[in-house]
Structure 1
Amino acid sequence: MAKGKVGKTVESLGDYLKEQRVAAHLSLRQLAEQTGVSNPYLSQIERGLRRPSAQVLQQIAKALRISAEQLYVRAGIVSPDPGSGGSVELAILGDPQLTERQKQSLLDVYASFLALNGTTTPKE
């Protein structure tokens, strides 16, 4: 892995996003125009240098016509395992009344509670 990468998950997310963009026959500039996200920032995401927020992932998913949830899983925001709290995470991410900062704070608190309980699966 090259210096400056923020993590393997983000690197594979960037590779996936580039594949999807190329398959959609879009340049980085065209994707930037459609998403409202700057061209340099999108380039950094594709190269694994930046970890995008859930909001940016939603904008990218909409422009590429792919599932935002799939991007959340690839970005490590939501767990791919059934029964591991994905519905809670998706509910937080999908709430339009919360700011991005509030969403991230809630996700962090939720993950810390799961870690404190020694599990990635919420108990009922």
Structure 2
Amino acid sequence: MRALGLEPEHEITTERAEPPAEIAEWLGLPAGEVNCLVRRRRLLAGGIPVRLNASWFPLSIAEGTVLAEPGPVIVGGVKSALAELGHPQATARERIVPSRLRPVPRRTRWRSTRSGRSSRSRTRASRPRAVPSR
């Protein structure tokens, strides 16, 4: 990015939240309840959003941990943090959905949803991502 004259930045926030129905289903949680921690990350290039991530975790494994801390505090990424908390990823699945055949300015080009399961066969994180058109 710097070679293109763009300064890379990222913003990370966290909050307790009610997950969308699809995320609740993937995590095996009841819908319509505030039962997740969501960790949102915006990646920017010269102030322009280039990727949006939202990582959803059951409160039962995330509350009061490094996952709940805002900012870039996790060394080695979310998978490493989960492994250190006793929830190492054993399997993963990803679904990629293009939103349009032709990119439209200021619209999402594609989004993907990735989830990981621990060895106990419990989904422990679901991470929707979106790439805005520019």
TM-score (norm 2): 0.24
Higher strand share: 2
Higher helix share: 1
TM-score (norm 1): 0.25
